[in-house]
Amino acid sequence: MSVTREKILELGENLIRTRGYNAFSYQDISTELGIKNAAVHYYFPSKENLGTSIVKTNIQRFDEMVDNMHSRKFGEWQQIETFIKIYVKSHREQKKCLVGSLSPDYNTLNATTKIELKRMIEMILKWLTELLEKGRTQNVFSFNEDPASKALSIFSSLVASLQLSGIMDKIDYKSFYQSILDDLKP
């Protein structure tokens, strides 16, 4: 794959995660990369195309993370810690997550981007639900809600925490992330 193409994908993702889908333009990308507007269109004919590719890349990254954790025989506790670390890292980098950035603009996205975003959220919730379920039967986790509700609750908290962290500085996010884990302790 072309280096320029990868740079566009990376920069596009960063722009979505810092400014939002409808606030970034091909101009932003071409200026930053020192190329012309049309060069971006060469790799991604339309913005729909670029947006969809960015979401697909993120889905792939999530898949790879899950595969990697399985092959390294991570336990349930290690897995949820690894998952939460994604958000700790995003917070450190002052970026929202892709889901939190694209979801409010969902009604304005193109059909293919909508499909991929929905698929991404479904995948995350499915994985998290199954992890919580398995962890509870093995006494690694403890909670009263049904696993799907608990998964939604944890995921929502993580997504929204990043959105608010860009605005509120004084909040203690470290202990916020810790309390999500503490809450699952048996």
Phi-psi region of 179 (alpha: psi -120 to 50; beta: other; left: phi over 0): alpha
Residue type, 106: Y
Selected from 37, 68, 149, 178, the binder of DNA by CB under 7 A is 37
Which secondary structure element, helix H or strand E, spans residue 150, and what is its range? Answer: helix 147-165
Contact call for residue 107 and a second copy (CB under 8 A): yes
Selected from 5, 28, 157, 181, the binder of a second copy by CB under 8 A is 157
Cβ of residue 110: shortest distance to DNA, in angstroms?
Answer: 8
Q: Are 74 and 127 in contact (CB under 8 A)?
A: no
Cβ of residue 65: shortest distance to DNA, in angstroms?
Answer: 28
| From the list DNA, a second copy, none, partner contacted by residue 75 (C-beta under 5 to 8 A by kind) | none
User: In terms of CB distance, is 36 or 92 closer to DNA?
Assistant: 36
| From the list a second copy, DNA, none, partner contacted by residue 47 (C-beta under 5 to 8 A by kind) | DNA
Residue type, 184: L
Residue count, binding to a second copy (CB under 8 A): 45
Residue type, 101: S
> What are the Cα distances from residue 52, in Å, to 3, 78, 111, 144, 178?
19, 31, 9, 37, 33
Contact call for residue 47 and DNA (CB under 7 A): yes
6-14, 74-82, 115-123, 132-140 -> range binding a second copy (CB under 8 A): 115-123
Q: Which residue pairs, CB below 8 angstroms and at least 24 apart, start in 84-93?
A: 84/158, 84/177, 84/180, 84/181, 87/158, 87/161, 87/162, 87/177, 88/174, 88/177, 90/17, 90/162, 91/161, 91/162, 91/165, 91/173
Which residues in this chain contact a second copy in the complex, by CB under 8 A?
18-20, 22-23, 96, 100-101, 103-108, 114, 117-118, 121-122, 125, 144-145, 148-149, 152-153, 155-157, 159-161, 163-164, 166-168, 171-172, 175-176, 179-180, 182-183
Which residues in this chain contact DNA in the complex, by CB under 7 A?
2-4, 24-28, 34-39, 41-43, 45-48
